[in-house]
Amino acid sequence: MSDPMPSTFRLKVVTPRRLLCEVDAESASIPTLEGYIGVLPGHRPLFAAVGKGVLTYRAEGSEDGHRIEGGFVQVRPDEVVVMTEVSEDESEGPIEGRG
């Protein structure tokens, strides 16, 4: 008998200066050089180059996001790590209320 599919995955967004966010996310949309990818819990392993755009994620029923510029993303079934630069002052915080 297989284990049930998890309902969240750990999302970490890291910049050279600090950890921008670390949440248990229900979904994420990440800009890559090939276009946006959607990530849900249990996603197949993936390593991709990140492009310029808005990384959005849904956690605890609300959607937030960050403007990012380049980097890399490592996707595993239970964790997504985005290593990136931000396109605006990091002190401004997340983009809120997008959903």
Query: The domain that contains 14 carries what CATH number?
Result: 2.60.15.10
Q: Which residues of the chain have pLDDT under 50?
A: 90-92, 98-99
Q: What is the pLDDT of residue 6?
A: 79
Q: What is the pLDDT of residue 99?
A: 43
57 assigned to some structural domain: yes
33 assigned to some structural domain: yes
The number of distinct structural domains making up the chain is 1
Q: What is the pLDDT of residue 98?
A: 44
Q: What is the pLDDT of residue 87?
A: 64
Which residue range forms the structural domain that includes residue 40? Answer: 9-89
69 assigned to some structural domain: yes
16 vs 7: CA distance, rounded Å: 30
Q: What is the pLDDT of residue 5?
A: 72
E strand or H helix at 50, and its extent? strand 46-59
2 assigned to some structural domain: no
Which residues 6+ apart lie within 8 Å of 92 measured at CB?
A: none
Q: Check: pTM over 0.85? Answer yes or no.
A: no
35 assigned to some structural domain: yes
3 assigned to some structural domain: no
